Amino acid sequence: MVLTSADEIGGKPTGYTLSEAAHPWKVFRDAGHVVDFASIAGGTPPIDPASEHDEITDEFEADATVQAGLTNTAKVEFVETDQYDAVYLVGGHGTMVDFRGNEHLARIVGEMADSGAVVSAVCHGPSGLLDVELANGLRIVEGRKVSAFTDDEERAIGLAPTMPFLLSSELEAQGAVLVAAEPWAEQVSVDDLLVTGQNPASAAGVAKEVVKILTTLVRAEKAEEQAASDELRAEKDAEKAEEEQA
């Protein structure tokens, strides 16, 4: 998981949205995956004080392993992408300050996409997809189905004037095929190995789709390994049969 390090936007306190980290964390953990935390500046990322709390966020904040990881998150420039099967960009208005234009985050997203890993993000997290170019020369969102916090949702909470840009509009400007539901409704979009969600209500859904993809990839990998093993066994059996006939 990658989190923002920005604690202010437009003169108001901000950070990452707690539920957008906690709900996916629970999905990943319950599926048996190990979750590491990274942030733009490293150290302890700020929680947006406007974050809502529930049983899952309480569990997240009470988990000793989580808190140890969040107290000393890795700085994005030191993240080695070959150690991971997926990256998840946690949302929150802070991401609008420090995700876009960060060369180290762009490297992580680009390298993972190019290597066939899963790239995912929710709400304002897709700001970390902006301007990211792949090895094929295309932007990662170009021609891809993407969901993110909509301009209407931004206006509805009165923060559009304080944003450096409107996220959904910028994604569309870079060629994304924006898929949006009604404000505050869950919307998760899956385009090959790119998984995105519209708002906090979509966070757990994004994680569930990531888990589905990872499970499919693991099964495919195991099937290939089994096929190779069967082929090798058949070759050895054939060699043994020839030796016995001789």
Residues 101-115: tens digit of each pLDDT = 999 999 999 999 999
CA distance 49 to 61: 14
**Stretch 85-114: mean pLDDT:** 98
Question: How high is the mean pLDDT of the chain?
Answer: 93
pLDDT at 245: 73
> What per-residue confidence (pLDDT) applies to 132?
98
How far is residue 93's CA from residue 15's CA, in Å, rounded to a whole number? 6
- pLDDT score at 216: 87
What secondary structure, in 3-state letters, does 61-96 show?
HHCHHHHHHHHCEEEHHHCCHHHCCEEEECCCCCHH
Band of residue 49 on the pLDDT scale cut at 50, 70, 90: very high
Residue 84 scores a pLDDT above 90: yes
Instruction: Map tokens 């009470």 to a residue.
Output: 62
Q: How far apart are CA 9 and CA 148, in angstroms?
A: 19
Burial of 64 (C-beta count, 10 Å sphere; 0-12/13-18/19+): exposed
Consecutive H or E run containing 151:
helix 151-156
Q: Is residue 38 helix, strand or coil?
A: strand
Predicted pLDDT at 217 = 77
Indicate the residue type of 23. Answer: H
Residue 221: what pLDDT?
A: 59
Tell me what pLDDT residue 227 has. Answer: 61
Q: How many CB atoms lie within 10 A of CB 205?
A: 22
On the question of pLDDT at 82 being above 60, the answer is yes
Q: What percent of the chain has pLDDT over 90?
A: 87
> 243 or 200: whose pLDDT is higher?
200
Contact (Cβ atoms closer than 8 angstroms) between residue 105 and residue 130:
no
Mean pLDDT of 17-32: 97
Q: What is the pTM of this model?
A: 0.89
